[in-house]
Amino acid sequence: MEYPRAIPLALFALVMMITGLSVFAMERGEDRRTEAMLIARAESVSSALERRANANSSYLRAGAALFATLDDVPRSRFDRFVSELRLDSDYRGAEGFGWAPVVRRSEFAAWSDARESENSLRTQIFPALVPGQPFAVPVTFLQPDTERNRRALGFDMYSETVRRQAMQEAFRDLRPTASGQVVLVQEGAAPEPGFLIYMPVVVREEAGPRLKGFIYSPFNAADFLGSALELEGASDFGVRFYDAVDGKEQLLASAGVEDGGKNKVRQGIRFANHRWVLEVYAPSTSALSTLSLLTLLFGLMVALLLMMVVRLLTQQAFEDDAAISWFAEQASIRNSLTRELNHRVKNTLANVLSIVALTRRRASSLDEFADGIDGRIRALSATHDLLTHSDWGTTPVRAVIEAELAPYARDSERMLNLDGPDSELAPNDALSLGLAIHELATNAAKYGALSVPGGRIDIRWQEVDGNTIRLDWAESGGPEVKQERARGFGTDLIEKIVAHELGRPVDLRFDPEGVKCTMLVPLRQPTDFSLRARDAGEEKPPAS
């Protein structure tokens, strides 16, 4: 009732919030399920990559152990070693196996002569050694013997920084070691990233280990990743393979969907004495899942339905409350009017008796008495007509006071002094003021300044702040006011009922020299009491 628009909107927002939380929970669960699948996929692909690399490293270790026992590694011996491995045609993601011996500057010519005698084609070491380079590590043999692999023969791998660092680390640790990202020499016009795994061939001597050369495997990164994915089967996930070196990551290869989306899992791998990073991700989608979409639509319909129902109930409650308030107000008005009528009848009778007594005392003949009492009773009737039959329009303050004091205004033995501006009062305020003036005048006629000759009543009013009138009633010249007296109905009427109707406190004082009363009467705009006037005129309850 206090928030007719806010309650339906708050209920709608609450239902939508619950629906949103439900959708969020379902989407969160879906993300977790996807994340779990991504983790499983990442572990399986990582395991496949490690198996590929470890199998190749095992072959390199075997070759290094064999070649370390030979004084020289001729082509026939190398080809026989590779053939006995009985590898499949694609070498499980590798480009093959190669042999690269350590060749010093003085041995370049002999190395070229040996290659010419074996291949009937003279091969030169390239690029030329830079000053300070102690030796070269040229590609001597590379199986399978294809046109593509022949492009790499004679290439000094020690001349390139990334390869050289990997070879130095492999010699230092005496185990298979992978290089970082490189482009293989045998790549054609569209080079793709790759890497190599080196295994040093070392001869044990009394002075210490002597490096004889390296048996190695070159890898095309895309082929290497593809061979691992073949072991795991197809899936809807994407995979990226990174080289992680010195805190930096370089993309080597990717497979599957290209859009990474928000769901992704990154996993570090270490094989061939090198660190790699594998990233597995699910394709991004901006749409909600089917269950989440259905839940959202259902929640929206429920929220709208509840909002409409609450809105209808609130509207009905407003109409019922308005009807109840109207009937209660009418009942209160009738009760107040009944009490006021009863009191006014009594006061009117008292005034009539007082007027009769005063008129009789001053009259010298029966006709004079009849004329005097008739005029005062007519004045009292005019006051009643002014207050109750003004058609609920505005009433001047002076007119209300004059109507109530009209029965006493013609008596020359008393003085009535009225002073104030031409201010207009609303109907209810005029009735309340008239009721108060009537009670004060009645009391004055019974016990105060109007009860004896020479009595004086000063009534002054003025506008205080533009919306309030201050009215002062002061009696003088009357009998001394008794301080020990019973509280009458008139006092309660002024201090409680009149003060309540005016919405302002009433200061009523029974000073010994005379009664004094100060009232604050509101000045209202017509719009403030037009509804009251209409209701009073129509006497109809609001529609339900």
Q: Would 296 be classed as within a structural domain? A: no
Mean pLDDT within 437-462 = 88
pLDDT number for residue 334:
82
- Cis status of the peptide bond prior to 4, with omega within 30 of 0: no
The whole-angstrom separation of Cα 49 and Cα 270 is 10
Distances (CA, A) of 188 to 109, 161, 196, 217, 219: 28, 21, 17, 18, 15
The whole-angstrom separation of Cα 203 and Cα 196 is 22
Same domain, 29 and 157: yes
pLDDT number for residue 539:
47
Q: How many domains does the chain have?
A: 2
Mean pLDDT within 460-464 = 92
Same domain, 269 and 409: no
Residue 533 pLDDT more than 80?
Answer: no
Residue 309 pLDDT more than 50?
Answer: yes
Q: Would 315 be classed as within a structural domain? A: no
Which of 266, 281, 296 is the last residue before a domain boundary? 281
pLDDT number for residue 332:
83
For the domain that residue 445 is a member of, what is the CATH number? 3.30.565.10
Closest to 521 (Cα-Cα) out of 472, 457, 456, 453: 472
DSSP tag of 206:
T
Same domain, 186 and 330: no
Q: Would 311 be classed as within a structural domain? A: no
Task: Classify residue 234 as exposed, middle or buried by CB count within 10 Å of its CB (0-12, 13-18, 19+).
Answer: exposed
Same domain, 268 and 152: yes
Q: Which of 123-132, 415-424, 436-445 has the lowest mean pLDDT?
A: 436-445
Q: Would 309 be classed as within a structural domain? A: no
Same domain, 47 and 164: yes
Which residues constitute the domain of residue 445? 324-538
Q: Would 288 be classed as within a structural domain? A: no
Cβ atoms of residues 538 and 504 within 8 Å: no
The whole-angstrom separation of Cα 248 and Cα 257 is 24
Planar angle of CA 468, 426, 499, nearest 5 degrees: 60
pLDDT digits (tens, 9 = 90+) for 356-413: 765 676 567 887 677 656 655 665 565 567 656 655 567 788 988 888 888 777 666 7
pLDDT digits (tens, 9 = 90+) for 314-366: 788 778 888 888 898 888 888 876 776 676 577 667 656 755 765 676 567 88
Q: Would 306 be classed as within a structural domain? A: no
Residue 458: helix, strand or coil by DSSP?
Answer: strand
pTM of the model: 0.55
- Residue in the structure block whose two tokens are 């198996």: 51
pLDDT digits (tens, 9 = 90+) for 22-31: 888 887 888 7
Q: Which amino acid is at 242?
A: Y
Same domain, 328 and 276: no
Structure tokens at 238: 């994407």
Same domain, 233 and 367: no
Which of 225, 254, 281 is the last residue before a domain boundary? 281
Which of 229, 258, 281 is the last residue before a domain boundary? 281
Q: Which amino acid is at 232?
A: E
The whole-angstrom separation of Cα 525 and Cα 456 is 34
Same domain, 71 and 15: yes
Q: Would 294 be classed as within a structural domain? A: no
The whole-angstrom separation of Cα 436 and Cα 442 is 10
Q: Which of 383-387, 437-441, 451-455 has the lowest mean pLDDT?
A: 383-387
For the domain that residue 67 is a member of, what is the CATH number? 3.30.450.350
Same domain, 28 and 176: yes
Work out the percent of the chain whose per-residue pLDDT is above 90.
35
Same domain, 472 and 395: yes
Residue 57 pLDDT more than 70?
Answer: yes
Q: Would 290 be classed as within a structural domain? A: no
